[in-house]
Structure 1
Amino acid sequence: MLELSIAGLLTAFVGGIASFLSPCVLPLVPGYLSYIAGGTAPLQTADADSRSERWRALGLSGCFVLGFSIVFLALGASITAIGRLFLAYRYEMNIAAGIAIAFAGLVVMGVLRMPVWVHRYYRFDPAAKGGKPLPAVVLGMAFGFGWTPCIGPVLGGILALGATSDSVGRGTLLLGVYAIGLGIPFLLAAYFMAPFTRRLATLRQAGRYLQVITGAILVAMGIAVASGQLMHFAIWLLKIFPVLGRIG
């Protein structure tokens, strides 16, 4: 389906970025990355040892991203499988999915406020020391489960869209792209950990504007899904970004 491969995947990717920029994720990124790297933050210098440390941090962060990607892929496959049991209600499911996505967008933009308890997360402190691939994967999986209430509005919208997919593979792909959107900023932050930490306050300010943009995209996508205009939305995206025609 063209509209899913373009508009849906773009929405999932944007949703992942929005989740990274959320107030309950972004401030805690340095702490997670420091643990993953073994308690040290690689310096941003031209020194060979520093470059080696940054590549090491990047690899370990890749394990972390793999961990939460596994969780999101499993959620995507599960919700799509459940959604296929209700194919007779596809029209109603599309409306519900569109509303959920638009709602997520309004929350990301700050137009709607969620209760305080929604922003809580379940912290997981692994017994194993950081600096190794396996603990990084386990911590990533714990992140995927523990942060679900915090990133719930966005994740819920993507899951709702996945539930309307015509195959488990497409629904899983949506969550995979969501994980990529969330994972790429983590990898960039890991490689540039020192400047990322120093400029976190600035990033938080810039992130507010980016959240408004990503939230607006989610709202537009939600309206398109609920109104049955997803194909027209996809065609519009193709005209604006022709390179998207190579996707899918």
Structure 2
Amino acid sequence: MIILFVFAFVSGLATILAPCIWPLLPIVLSATTTGGKGKPLGITVGIVLSFSVVTLALSYLVKILPLDPDVLRFVAAFIITVLGFVLIIPQLTAHFEAAVSRLVGTVGQRFTKRSDNDWWSGFVTGLACGVIWAPCAGPILATIATLAATRSVSWEVTILTLFYAAGVGVPLFALTVLGQKLFQRSKFMNRYLRRIQQVFGAVMIATAVMIVTNYDKVLQVKLLDAFPSYTTWLVDLESTPVVQDQLDELRGVNDAVDVTTTGYAAPDIIGIANWLNSEPLTLDELRGKVVLIDFWTYTCINCIRTLPHVQGWYEQYQDDGLVVIGVHSPEFEFEKDTGNVQNAIDMYGLTYPVAQDNDFATWKNYNNRYWPAKYLIDAKGNIRYTHFGEGEYDKTENAIRALLAEAGATVTNDMQDLPDETPVYATTPETYLGLGRIDRFASNEPIQYGVGDYSLPDVLPLHGVAFNGSWDVESQYAEANVGAQLRLHFKAADVFLVIKPAGEGDTITVNDEIITLDTERLYQLYSSTTVVDDELTITFNDPSTQVFAFTFGS
């Protein structure tokens, strides 16, 4: 992990050359036109601290507090606006310094020197800058963002973030020190310092307006378009095999736990947010019953195809002592909403208990890695059979019947006779569209975190996906602007896409067909009786439509 920390620090150092940080530099430099020696360090510490905290803790804060993440940007924009007016209007400078002095005085009497006031003034500026700054993301920062978004922050992720932020802080500190010397000690600059401060004040206010209107993201896109080689260079820097291996280890991709082991005591069902179709259940109170634990999520097409079988087993064998518990572990943030899960339960006619495992507590307790996944527990509380993915329904049902008989039940019902819809032909693999897991991206421009403009390639390779127009790429999803397009070259009979519209009634155009969206769920975009090699072009007719992942059937 030491190598990964070193690469994170180096990537942070290189960030000073990134177009994504350039809109931040006028604010940083403008702050150095006033104050003493303590201000550059205050600015640097403020940026490093607020960037680290926002990156690691925002997902937790949104969960605990009814907080819109954009509120932090608006607060930061307000602070920057105030600082801008302080630079423009000399009379406000004294009032601002007095306010900082009072703030410092509440911390402790030992902070009474002018240099301490300068430090705190710079610190406030740095805090605001750290909140609004969205760096160009390479693999390291993308991994941090993904783990933070899923609230999987460990001490390794925290240290990795601090190394990256420290790398950013070193050149920023050097820049602020040089800026201060240039503006305050140069006789030529000092002669025009008041005018320079007013110009920078106007720049800060303009920047705050861009933040509120989200034009700062557009500016980042234009800068990346003007300097496209930077993102490619950063990705190459962080894509060495040793870094990728350690990032995989951090994400838990190479976890060596063998979840297929059977004959061991079943872990408890823990951390459940809500129970649907049932009162809360525990394995202790179900001792003597045969229990089928089914991990699923309602936008997963593989899970959806298994649900008729799971419901059928529940109906057929519940009188013989079978209990089915569907553990709903959400792949995407909107799947945590209880109303959405209840709608899915109603849609698919599920009557067995469903537990919302929103924080993946039970998932982790079972060392699970799959959607769908089935764990069959005998009457003594031991896992005796597991199955991951679709198919082999007769094998699973035979295991249920055998354990029921072992528990003393007389099973007289015939086995189910439901069709097995597991794909039998090779199809395009599941294709995620968020930066954290996207693969086979084929637009002419490299994909980046945040807002960007993309164009379609002349030829889209098989299984490839490409954006066209303006997109805002986040860890779990990509958000389309009006008129943006998404093109897919697939091999399958059925194509599905997880979509979250901004509002009910929004539409997309798939090739020449208009599809009306109602809520965040899985939509079928294409259906054929045979596997075909074809392309789909999806045009987004309304703003802020989020797309998460393609899945396929044969």
Which structure is higher in strand share?
A: 2
Using structure 2 for the length normalisation, give the TM-score: 0.24
Higher helix share: 1
TM-score, normalization by structure 1:
0.48
